[in-house]
């Protein structure tokens, strides 16, 4: 049966623009990491329980894939979907570290939505899948659309493709599991300083390479100082940028020309 790749992402910049209810609104450039991905596929099974095979350290009901199944079922009321998950196990080969700011759980959820839509011919558009996915997590719509590079705003639901040359990254993930809510809470209590709409537009029109040249890692990501404040085990890495709420660092891969 077909295998699907669920790619990681990095945030070239991540700036807070304000608050909407309990959520912070953002302006961010998400860029796909083509060399780092989980792989998902279905296998036949005997028992009818919902089953995921993979290296996950959370109860199945907390898994983003199970949450994606729940919201997809709610949206479609599809008997085909119920029958399929009663007769198939979802297998996941995990390569993207968890709690690391690389979007692994969100990418898995978005990929699962696409797999079900394709295999069961549910006929849902990307817009509908993104709306369904947004109930699972703020990063899921980006992965549903599958753009190599995009500006993401609102609370993650506004995804606009950004055209630029493909970028290659080196990724380094320290052994520090980070709680995104904790980092946002620290930011709001200690460092809250949303940028203006004009500044957000300026960043959204600037190429990723230029941003990485012109901004320091702490300037580029409002959550970086918050993560350092929350987690004493997390340390700055000279010349590396910080993805999402962390703990992963990234930098552009240098090409040597012979």
Catalytic site includes residue 9 = yes
Q: Which of 38, 67, 108, 139 is catalytic?
A: 139
Tell me the β-bridge partners of 43: 89
Inter-residue long-range contacts of 43-46, CB under 8 Å, 24+ positions, other chains counted: 43/1, 43/88, 43/89, 43/91, 44/87, 44/88, 44/89, 45/87, 45/88, 45/89
Exposed (0-12), middle (13-18) or buried (19+): which is 3, by Cβ within 10 Å?
Answer: exposed
- Residue among 147, 185, 174 at smallest CA distance from 163: 147
Q: Which of 9, 67, 108, 222 is catalytic?
A: 9
Contact 246, 224 (CB under 8 A): yes
DSSP 17-41: EEEETTEEEEEEEEEEEEEEEEEEE
Per DSSP bridges, beta strands 169-172 and 241-242 are unpaired
End-to-end CA distance of the chain: 42
Active site positions, annotated: 9, 139
């Amino acid at each position: 049966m077909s295998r699907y790749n669920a790619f990681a992402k990095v945030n070239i910049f991540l700036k807070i623009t304000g608050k909407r209810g309990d959520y912070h609104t953002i302006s961010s450039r998400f860029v796909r990491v083509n060399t780092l991905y989980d792989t998902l596929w279905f296998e036949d099974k005997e028992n009818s329980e919902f089953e995921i095979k993979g290296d996950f350290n959370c109860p199945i009901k907390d898994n983003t894939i199970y949450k994606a199944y729940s919201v997809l079922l709610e949206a479609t009321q599809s008997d085909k979907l119920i029958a399929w998950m009663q007769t198939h196990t979802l297998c996941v080969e995990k390569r993207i570290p968890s709690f690391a700011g690389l979007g692994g759980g969100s990418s898995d959820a978005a990929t699962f939505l696409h797999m079900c839509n394709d295999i069961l011919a549910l006929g849902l558009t990307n817009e509908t899948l993104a709306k369904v996915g947004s109930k699972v997590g703020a990063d899921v719509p980006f992965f549903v659309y599958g753009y190599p590079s995009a500006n993401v705003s609102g609370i993650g639901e506004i995804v606009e493709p950004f055209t630029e040359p493909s970028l290659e990254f080196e990724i380094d993930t320290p052994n520090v599991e980070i709680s995104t809510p904790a980092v946002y809470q620290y930011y709001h209590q200690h460092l809250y300083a949303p940028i203006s709409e004009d500044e957000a537009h300026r960043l959204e029109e600037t190429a990723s390479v230029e941003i990485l040249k012109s901004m320091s890692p702490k300037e580029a990501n409002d959550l970086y100082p918050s993560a350092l404040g929350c987690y004493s085990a997390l340390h700055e890495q000279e010349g590396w940028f910080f993805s999402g709420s962390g703990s992963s660092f990234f930098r552009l891969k240098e090409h040597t020309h012979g």
